[in-house]
Amino acid sequence: MATKPTESITILSLRKLSLGTAEPQVKEPKTFTMEDAVETIGFGRFHIALFLIMGSTGVFWLAGSLLIIGLASVVIPTIGWRWLIRIASIPGIILIMAFKFIPESARFHVSTGNTQAAVATLEHIAKMNRSVMPEGKLLEPVLEKRGRFADLLDAKYLRTTLQIWVIWLGISFAYYGVILASAELLERDLVCGSKADSEVVVTGGDSGESQSPCYCHMFAPSDYRTMIISTIGEIALNPLNILGINFLGRRLSLSITMGCTALFFLLLNICTSSAGLIGFLFMLRALVAANFNTIYIYTAEVYPTTMRALGMGTSGSLCRIGAMVAPFISQVLMSASILGALCLFSSVCVVCAISAFTLPIETKGRALQQIK
């Protein structure tokens, strides 16, 4: 009988012990996001290389324009324009080869659900930067809905999209138009007091080119200087452009610069001195560059993340159409009527100015939209 209490106490003690013991908790695996990876890896050699490679494409737009003008002043009078084209293609070939060393965007891989490729890209960047990856597994939500072309024509964005397309086409038309028109105006030597009917000189450095039916006036050294000075104008208005965008807003700033572009196209019809012509061309290059800067910013801001790349891509396509049409006006039509060509350029700029002013959305101070 003495053993029964001992047995009951033992059973009760075991029950208490089992109830007081905590169940083992399963540790959740560590995870990290793209933002965590970017912060952990930090800035390093990869970003410097990316800046040099990608930044060179933007710097070749201005520096390349200046370089090709200087190169043309030396090459064309000596060995001909064909050699100018051959030499000018070398930097582009080098740049294409450099793109091989640029990995695909990790964010792009994540957006398509290819997490393994995104991790490989991040590990490559971390290795170049001599850094480490965050611990755990990359976990980023996959976008269920991606942009479609039909979204650009949705009722919410239809008017904005159509007006943006008109502006992109017109800006590109004016930009390449003023570049080609500059050469045409200088070749015709339309400065007041000059001899417009100067002797025609056949260009070319070999016998094959001398037999060509395409005759043109050779540029004088002063013409090349004019082209260089006017090209520098592309960065002249950048400070004012930045101030206008931030204080006046995107729409008003773009409408003002487009209106001024139209005005300066008309001013080219005025009989002026050489300095006056240089000033008009300088301001035109500055204004058309400012137009491009503003519309780039506006287009990227007005669309949500799911549509942003699609909006920029379709706008760029319209931009190329404007670039293709410009030579027919600035060279073909201008050879028949300078006044008619310049008035056409001015009219297109006026349409773009009105379209910019009446855009339904102002993106100044507006947060970037993530979803439609």
pLDDT tens column, 148-171: 788 888 888 889 999 999 999 999
Q: What is the pLDDT of residue 256?
A: 94
Contacts 24+ apart (CB under 8 A), 30-34: 30/135, 30/136, 30/137, 31/136, 31/137, 31/138, 31/139, 32/134, 32/135, 32/136, 32/137, 32/138, 32/139, 33/138, 33/139, 33/140, 34/106, 34/107, 34/110, 34/118, 34/138, 34/140
Q: Give this prediction's pTM.
A: 0.69
What does the chain come to in residues? 372
What is the C-alpha to C-alpha distance for residues 263 and 287, in angstroms, rounded to an integer? 11
What is the C-alpha to C-alpha distance for residues 91 and 110, in angstroms, rounded to an integer? 33
Here the tokens at position 3 are 């053993």
Helix (H) or strand (E) holding 146, with range, is none
Q: What is the pLDDT of residue 202?
A: 40
Q: What is the pLDDT of residue 68?
A: 84
The segments of the chain whose pLDDT lies below 70 read: 1-28, 53-59, 140-147, 187-217, 367-372
* Residue partners of 345: CB distance under 8 A and separation at least 6: 173, 174, 177, 178, 181, 262, 265, 329, 330
